Every structure is written in C-alpha cells, then in structure tokens.
Amino acid sequence: MAKRQKPVFLPPAQDLRLKAVNLKKGYPLKLEPAELRRLESVIERAADALHKETAEKLRLLRAALNDVAKGDRADQAMRAIRSLSLDIKGMGGMFKYPLLTAFAKSLNDFTNSIDYPTPVQLDIIAAQIDALYVVLAKHLQGSGGRTERALLDALRQATARHKGSRARF
Amino acid sequence: MSNAPMADLERIDFSKISFLVVEPNRLMGQMVRDVLLMLDAQYIDRARDYQSAIQLLKVGRIDVMITEWALSHEVTGKNGMDIVHWVRNDPASPNPFMPIVMMTANSEEEYVCRARDAGVSEFVAKPYTVQGFYTRLAAAIARPRRFVRVEDYFGPDRRRRSSDTYDGPERRIPAEPN
C-alpha cells in the first residue's frame, strides 16, 4: 500500500491581521447590540425591494414552468427553475418570510434531481410555485399556521414519492 | 485600565480591507455591500460570474472574498466553488491564503462539507442574519487558521478542535463507550 504523504502545516497568515486588527479603531469582534441593530437596518430597509424581487422571480418561475410543459427547451427551463427557486430560498427568510424559504427549498430539492419531468412531477412543481405565490400574496410572514405546515408536509410527501433519480452533484 | 483579555479588546478596521463580493443576485450583492459600507469598508469590488471574479482577483489587491456557490452557468459553466479552487490552487492566484467566506443558499450539510473540503474559511447559509454573517467574517479576518497542504487539499486546517490526549500520527476520534 502506498504511503500517505505527510501533511504540511503552515502557520496562519498574519498580513491581514497586521493590516486591519488593532486596539483602537473599528469594530469589536463581538458587536454591541446598538451596532448590530444599525447593521440590521440595512436588511430591514431592503424588505420592499426583496418583496418585489421575489414577485418577479415567481413570475419567471411560472414562465419557465410553461416552457417545460410545452416542451420548449425543457432542460434550460428546468435549469431556470432550479436557479430561481434557490434564489428565493436564500431571500425568503431575509425579509421575514421563512415560509418562502421552506417552499422554495422543497421546490429546489425536488427539481435538483429532474431534467425532464413527468406529468405528475410537473403538477408537483406547479403546486409548489402556487404555494410560493400564496405566501407572498397573502403576506404570510413567520413560519405559518397549521394549514401552511400541513401543505408543506403534503408537498414533502409528494416530492419524496415522485422525486427523480439524478445525482445532486 | 480594563482587565479584559487583549483578544477581547481587538477591533477590526474594515477601512483597511479590500473585499470582493461575488453574487449573481444584484439585490443580495447590494445588501452585502451595504453592510460592508456601514462597517466603514472603502474598497468593495463586485462580480456576478466566474470570469469577472477571476479578473478582479488577478489584479492582486483583494484581501477577503465573499462568494455565492451558485453562479450563472451560461458562459463558463463554473461556479463559486471553482473560484475557491482557483484562489487556493492556481499558480496565477496572488493570494492562496485569502480568507474566503462562502455565503450561499446551498446550505445543506453536504454542501457545507464540500465547501470545507475545497478550502473555504467560513460558511454562511442564506437566508442569513447580520450577526451570523459578521461573526464569521470577523473570524475569517481576525482569527486566521493555520493552513494544511496534503495530497488532495490545500486550505485552512479543517480541524477546529484538537485533542490534548492523543499524540499519534493520525487523527483519532474518541472510542464509543461499551
């Protein structure tokens, strides 16, 4: 058996520390609550823009779904659905819509293993996009009530039953 | 005079640091930029794809990179992980030791492990909190880890904890109790 090469350890690079870390100027490693609130205001101010951006991405999701249904460059349209759902997954919780993140994750996980969806898979994708629309249109902030959780569970069960077999990576 | 340990008094002067934010989503990139500006950062470059990120990195003035995993594939077919690989391993990379924060909606454990094994310094899952982002950014800058070179890996030491009781040739995990 070939002998495994011994790891070489190199000390931490100090250039950036020397340049930027000091005892007088700048921000502490652990932020004070007031500093943290000031930074959080950046995200709060972006909430309207995030709402608009999500609405636009949902419109594009519907358009991509129509392309897939028509068989119009289905693989490209599926790529678009994966990319858009990943974007919404990342944005939802940023502006107090964790349900958007949950539904978008469900859609993204499901479509990650599908290039050419069957009619049943198409229906499931459409249902997930509809759910995203409802969350945004009805301003369902927070984790949702019993109905939303039941819907999410139902979609999870449907996606588990009908998921594709393509490897994720 | 304060009795706090020296490390607790340390501060980061973000105005001295050059950032590169690689984010295909214009709005999400803008938010990261705005947070950095509020921290008094002065030098913030932005890129939305692999090629423009590499061009900016080649200039050699970037100190810290914050990158999304999923980038637009249309042109190069490459993503944020390819940029990490380039920084750590390409002979043309000006700074293979650069702190890299991966900020991505690909947040499941398998992605975290892949990012770690590619040489990412810190991982931030989207949607993120400002506190989570800041904590990891500050750690990447002020608490650099030692680097390791082995056959198939070059990057920050992936072991965050070390055992004081084992002194043998290879890492060990504690035995399961009987």
pLDDT in tens, A110-129: 999 898 899 999 999 999 99
Return the percentage of chain B with pLDDT > 90, whole number.
Answer: 79
Q: Is B43 on the interface with A (CB under 8 A)?
A: no
Q: From CA B34, how far away is CA B128, in angstroms rounded?
A: 15
The arithmetic mean of pLDDT across residues B19-25, rounded, is 97
How many DSSP H helices and E strands does chain A contain? 7, 3
H/E element, B150: strand B147-150
Whether domain B13-156 has CATH 3.40.50.300: the reply is: no
The encoded tokens of residue A69 equal: 């249904």
Q: Identify the pLDDT of residue B169.
A: 55
Q: Does B114 touch chain A (CB under 8 A)?
A: yes
- Give me the pLDDT at residue B178, please: 45
**Token output for B107:** 């947040």
Of all helices (H) and strands (E), which one includes residue B44?
Answer: strand B43-47
Q: Report pLDDT for B2.
A: 55
Note the pLDDT of residue B146. 95
Tens digits of residue pLDDT in A46-102: 999 999 999 999 999 999 999 999 987 888 999 999 999 999 999 999 999 999 999
* Integer Cα distance of B15 and B104 in angstroms: 25
Looking at B50-59, B84-93, B133-142, B155-164, which range is the least confident one?
B155-164
- On the CB side of B27, CA atoms within 13 Å amount to 20
DSSP state of A117: -
3-state helix/strand/coil string of B45-69: EEECCHHHHHHHHHHCCCCEEEECC
- Does residue B173 carry a pLDDT above 60? no
Torsion, Cα of A161, A113, B127, B159 (10° steps):
110
CA-nearest of B48, B42, B144 to B96 is: B144
Q: HSE on the CB side for B38, CA within 13 Å?
A: 17
- Asked if B127 and A101 come within 8 Å (Cβ–Cβ), the reply is yes
Q: Please list the alpha-helical segments (H only) found in chain B.
A: 6-9, 26-38, 50-59, 80-89, 109-118, 130-142
- Least confident among A152-166, B32-46, B105-119: A152-166
Residues of B in contact with A21 (CB under 8 A): 10-13, 141-142
Is B150's CB within 8 Å of A5's CB? yes
Q: Quick check: helix, strand or coil at residue B10?
A: coil
CB-based contacts of B170: which residues, under 8 Å, 6+ apart? none
Higher pLDDT, B178 or A9: A9
Q: Which residues pair with B148 in a beta bridge?
A: A9, B155
Structural domains of chain A sorted by starting position, each given as residue range(s) with its CATH number in brackets: 32-162 (1.20.120)
B47 phi and psi angles, rounded to 5 deg: -140, 155
- Give the Cα separation of A72 and B106 in Å (integer): 28
What is the gyration radius of the CA atoms in chain A, in angstroms?
22
Which chain A residues are closer than 8 Å to B106 by Cβ?
86
Distance, in Å, from the CA atom of B80 to the CA atom of B47, rounded to the nearest integer, reads: 11
- By the CB < 8 Å criterion, does A3 face chain B? no
- pLDDT for residue B170: 56
Q: What is the mean pLDDT of chain A?
A: 90
